[in-house]
Amino acid sequence: MTRRRVEIAALFLGWFLALGFISRALFTASSSITYTRISSALHSVGRDASAVEGNMVRRARGGARRDRLKELFPNLHDPAALKNPAGLLWGAFDGGFPQSMEGFADLEQQMETTFPLVSLYQAWGDLPENQFPTSMMETIAEIGSIPIISWEPWVTTFDREVRTNLAPVERREFGSLAAIARGDYDFHIVRWAEEAAAYKKPFFIRFAHEMNDPYRYPWGPQNGNRAEDFIAAWRHVHLLFEKKGAANAIWVWSPHLSMPWLEYYYPGPDVVDWIGFGVLNYGTVASWSRWWNVDDMLERPYVPLSSFKKPMMITEFGTLPTGGDPRAWITGARVAFESRYPEVHAIVLYNQTHDDTLGGGALNWSPLAMPGTVQLLSAWMASARIR
Amino acid sequence: MLGALVILALHAVLYFFFWWFRREHVGIPVLFALLSAAMLYGVGRMLVGWYNVLFIAQPAWIAPSPAAVTAIFITATPGEPAAMFDETLAAAACITSPHTTYLLDDTRDPEIARIAERHGAVRLELIGLPGAKAGKINAALALTNEEFILVLDPDHVPHPEFLERVLGQFHDEGIGFVQVAQAYGNSERSFVAGAAAEQTYAFYGPTLQGMYGLGTSVVIGANGTFRRSALASIGGHGLGLAEDLITAIRLHAAGWRSVYVPEIVSYGRVPEDLGSFAQQQLKWSRGVWEMLLTEYPRAFSRLTPLQRLSYFMIGTYYAFGLTTAIYLAIPLLYLSFGWLPASVGPAEYLQHAAPLGLFGIFIYLFSERFLCDPTRERGFHLRGFLLKLGLWPVYLKGTLLAFLRIDVPYIATAKEARTGSFWRLARVQLIGITATLGLAANMIHERLYQLPESHVRLTTGVAWGMLSFALIHAAFASSVIYAAWRATRVKPRQAEGMTVR
**Residues A146-205: tens digit of each pLDDT:** 999 999 999 998 887 778 888 888 899 999 999 999 999 999 999 999 999 999 999 999
Angstrom distance (rounded) from CA A296 to CA A311: 20
Closest alpha carbon within chain B to A114: B454
Handedness of CA A105, A111, A113, A118 (dihedral sign): negative
Q: Residue A119 forms beta bridges with which residues?
A: A93, A148
Give residue B417's pLDDT: 45
Residue A206 near residue A150 (C-beta atoms within 8 A): yes
Reading across the β-sheet that carries B175-180, which strands appear in turn? B122-125, B99-105, B70-76, B148-152, B224-227, B175-180, B257-261
B343–A61: do the CB atoms touch at under 8 Å?
Answer: no
Instruction: Name the average pLDDT for chain A.
Output: 90
Query: Which residues, 6 or more positions from A358, have their beta carbon under 8 angstroms from its beta carbon?
Result: A282, A285, A286
* pLDDT tier for residue A305 given thresholds of 50, 70 and 90: very high
Length reported for chain B? 501
Closest alpha carbon within chain A to B348: A35
Helix (H, G, I), strand (E, B) or coil at B26: strand
**Of A254, A256, A251, A242, residue with least CA distance to A269:** A251
User: How far does B8 lie from chain A, in Å, by closest CA?
Assistant: 7
Give residue B422's pLDDT: 78
**Of B135, B118, B117, residue with least CA distance to B126:** B135
Angstrom distance (rounded) from CA A316 to CA A349: 6
Angstrom distance (rounded) from CA A31 to CA B409: 52
Give residue A32's pLDDT: 64
Q: Residue A349 forms beta bridges with which residues?
A: A92, A317
Angstrom distance (rounded) from CA B99 to CA B146: 8
Angstrom distance (rounded) from CA B494 to CA B99: 31
* pLDDT tier for residue A288 given thresholds of 50, 70 and 90: confident
pTM: predicted TM-score of the whole model, two decimal places: 0.80
Angstrom distance (rounded) from CA B62 to CA B54: 24
Handedness of CA A52, A53, A55, A60 (dihedral sign): positive
Q: How far is CA A257 from CA A274, A302, B87, in A?
A: 15, 9, 97
Angstrom distance (rounded) from CA A188 to CA A126: 8
Q: Residue B231 forms beta bridges with which residues?
A: none
Q: Are strands B224-227 and B175-180 parallel, antiparallel or unpaired?
A: antiparallel
Residue A210 near residue A217 (C-beta atoms within 8 A): yes
Give residue A385's pLDDT: 60
Q: Residue B266 forms beta bridges with which residues?
A: B158
What residue type is B454 in one-letter code? S
Q: In the predicted model, is pLDDT for residue A325 greater than 80?
A: yes
pLDDT of B151-204, one tens digit each?
999 999 999 999 999 999 999 999 999 999 999 988 888 889 999 999 999 999
- Using a CB-CB distance cutoff of 8 angstroms, which residues of chain B are in contact with residue A128? 345, 348
- Using a CB-CB distance cutoff of 8 angstroms, which residues of chain B are in contact with residue A104? 452, 454
Closest alpha carbon within chain A to B351: A35
- pLDDT below 50 — which residues of chain B? 411-419, 492-501
Preferred mutation among A53, A127, A159 to probe B, highest tally of B CBs within 10 A = A53
Q: In the predicted model, is pLDDT for residue A132 greater than 70?
A: yes
Angstrom distance (rounded) from CA B448 to CA A52: 12
Residue B242 near residue B290 (C-beta atoms within 8 A): yes
Give residue B490's pLDDT: 53
**Of B361, B370, B151, B378, residue with least CA distance to B266:** B151
- DSSP codes of every residue in B47-74: HHHHHHHTT---PPP-PPPTT--EEEEE
Angstrom distance (rounded) from CA B309 to CA B304: 9
What residue type is A111 in one-letter code? M
Exposure class string for B323-357: b at 16+ Cβ within 10 A, else e: bbbbbbbbbbbbbeeeebbbebbbbbbbbbbbbbe
Q: Residue B268 forms beta bridges with which residues?
A: B184
Angstrom distance (rounded) from CA A91 to CA A146: 9
The three-point CA angle A219-A224-A230 to 5° equals 50
User: How far does B451 lie from chain A, in Å, by closest CA?
Assistant: 9
Angstrom distance (rounded) from CA B305 to CA B288: 20
Q: Are strands A274-281 and A312-319 parallel, antiparallel or unpaired?
A: parallel
- Using a CB-CB distance cutoff of 8 angstroms, which residues of chain A are in contact with residue B15? 27
A53–B460: do the CB atoms touch at under 8 Å?
Answer: yes
- Please, where are the H alpha helices in chain A? 2-61, 65-72, 79-83, 102-111, 134-142, 169-172, 176-182, 186-199, 227-243, 294-306, 326-339, 373-386
Phi, then psi, of B421 in degrees rounded to 5: -95, -5
What residue type is A2 in one-letter code? T
B457–A109: do the CB atoms touch at under 8 Å?
Answer: no
Widest Cα–Cα separation across chain B: 85
**Of A136, A355, A61, A380, residue with least CA distance to B455:** A136
* pLDDT tier for residue A34 given thresholds of 50, 70 and 90: low
* pLDDT tier for residue A29 given thresholds of 50, 70 and 90: low
- DSSP codes of every residue in A42-66: HHHHHHHHHHHHHHHHHHHHTS-HH
- Using a CB-CB distance cutoff of 8 angstroms, which residues of chain B are in contact with residue A49? 460-461, 464
A127–B455: do the CB atoms touch at under 8 Å?
Answer: no
Angstrom distance (rounded) from CA B12 to CA B357: 9
Query: Which residues, 6 or more positions from B497, have their beta carbon under 8 angstroms from its beta carbon?
Result: B81, B83, B84, B155, B269
User: How far does B161 lie from chain A, in Å, by closest CA?
Assistant: 36
The DSSP letter of residue A167 is P
Give residue A30's pLDDT: 65
| Rg of chain B taking only CA atoms, in angstroms | 25
Preferred mutation among A101, A132, A136 to probe B, highest tally of B CBs within 10 A = A101
What residue type is A181 in one-letter code? A
- Please, where are the H alpha helices in A315-372? 326-339
Angstrom distance (rounded) from CA A99 to CA B344: 11
Handedness of CA B136, B141, B144, B146 (dihedral sign): positive
